[in-house]
Amino acid sequence: MVRKEMVAMLLAGGEGKRLGVLTKALAKPAVHFGGKYRIIDFTLSNCVHSGIDTVGVLTQYQPLVLNQYLGIGSPWGLDRRYGGMAVLPPYMKSKGGSWYKGTANAIYQNMGFIDRYDPEYVLVISGDHIYKMDYDLMLDHHKASGADATIAVIEVDWSEASRFGLMATDETGKITEFQEKPKIPKSNLASMGVYIFSWPVLQQYLIRDEDNLKSSNDFGKDIIPAMLADGIYLNTYTFQDYWKDVGTIQSLWEANMDLLSEESQLVLNDKNWRIYSVNPNQPAHYISPAGNVSSSLITEGCFIEGCVNRSVLFYGVHVGEGSVIRDSVIMPNAQIGKNVTITRAIIGEGAVIADGVYIESAEGEDIQVVASDEMVLPAGTAKEVEA
């Protein structure tokens, strides 16, 4: 068989604890985003547009929705005779088996998958992030530098830097120090969780890491520090476009709102970099004579008789007459009754909001969330949301 130059390993087993009710029954990469997508669509589409046709998707936490969504990879053009997409859950071996203990262990357990394609390079990415990136340019950078590993980084505000894994570099971009969420940051170059490794080097470190019983088997905490300690050449690749880790309710809401800004850096309507997704197959959306929509994203299958402002509506959402939706994200097939007021909230997939309900959170307060398939009846006052 022809060898593949680079194989992508996409980490999609994360629970996304801080997304609360939104990830109760599905993995974080399967969380809805941007009117018709799930988060993982961005990284899968990036792979395809970067010329990568072999992608292993590592799943573990609540995989049912994700597995069904991914199928055989057809929506992303990853249903190939040789290569294509493979969903890789933990599995039994002759000497027993185990769950994926960490991100590095997940790759370790699937070294056999990678070796089937005998690649020179392995791209390790996470299905939790929203960004459009050409991994092929990063690979060029990796090859030109002669590094053993290249880590994509993005400049963040110094005030926020201590939330990230940070890379201190020399003037050529070579990494001199790595700090995981430090109190006092020495750099504002944050790791995006996008790594290109020369496969023989990574393989060696995965095996060594597995032998170290004290290791947490994590790329950021174990593999990268070990490589750095050995003086392995680790380089950075600076990315200057939109990148967001939607790890919390607040950041998920913000990322959706980012799409509505006239100066949004994340352009979805980009014919040269389409974000592919599973087609929900719905008719064009309808706005009634009483309806009114501005500064919003509306998807096929919506039926709008109310007023929608600065909001993102996924497919199949119905908004009844007299209802007002502001600064909110309404997930697929949610049914909003008449005279409902929703402000600064995320309404889960298939939720039903009865006539006359108020769901509001004020500026500065936590974003209100209604869980998937939840039914909200009027209580006369703002609804209390259970965590």
Strand, coil or helix: what is 294?
A: strand
Of residues 31-60, those binding another protein (CB under 8 A): 34-36
**Side-chain-facing half-sphere of 130: CA atoms under 13 Å:** 25
Nearest Cα to Cα of residue 267 among 42, 87, 84: 42
For the record, the structure tokens of 7 come out as 């194989």
For the record, the structure tokens of 312 come out as 């993102």
Nearest Cα to Cα of residue 183 among 163, 168, 169, 167: 163
| CB of 252 vs another protein, minimal distance in Å | 16
For another protein, the closer of residues 196 and 252 by Cβ is 252
Binding mask 120-139 for another protein (x = CB under 8 A): --------------------
Q: Is 181 annotated as a binding residue?
A: yes
* Stretch touching another protein by CB under 8 A, among 138-146, 192-200, 290-298, 322-330: 290-298
Q: Residue with structure tokens 């190939």?
A: 80
Q: Assess 341 for contact with another protein (CB under 8 A).
A: no
| CB of 282 vs another protein, minimal distance in Å | 8
For the record, the structure tokens of 103 come out as 């991100």
| CB of 85 vs another protein, minimal distance in Å | 16
For another protein, the closer of residues 223 and 312 by Cβ is 312
- Distances in Å between the Cα of 81 and the Cα atoms of 69, 72, 84, 90 are 20, 11, 7, 24
- Distances in Å between the Cα of 337 and the Cα atoms of 24, 298, 328, 365 are 25, 18, 16, 25
Of residues 171-200, those binding another protein (CB under 8 A): none
Q: Assess 294 for contact with another protein (CB under 8 A).
A: yes
Binding another protein (rule: CB under 8 A), the pick from 60, 110, 187, 299 is 299
Q: Assess 275 for contact with another protein (CB under 8 A).
A: yes
Q: Assess 277 for contact with another protein (CB under 8 A).
A: yes
* Stretch touching another protein by CB under 8 A, among 12-20, 167-175, 189-197, 281-289: 281-289
| CB of 237 vs another protein, minimal distance in Å | 27
Query: Which residues face 131 on adjacent strands?
Result: 243
* Stretch touching another protein by CB under 8 A, among 5-13, 144-152, 273-281, 363-371: 273-281
Distance CA 276, CA 38 (A): 10
Q: Is 102 annotated as a binding residue?
A: no
For the record, the structure tokens of 167 come out as 């890379």
- Distances in Å between the Cα of 269 and the Cα atoms of 41, 112, 272, 274, 342 are 15, 38, 9, 7, 27
Distance CA 325, CA 32 (A): 19
Q: Which residues are annotated as a binding site for alpha-D-glucose 1-phosphate?
A: 100, 165, 180-181, 191
Binding interface with another protein (CB under 8 A): 34-36, 74-75, 262, 268-269, 274-277, 279, 281-300, 303, 312-313
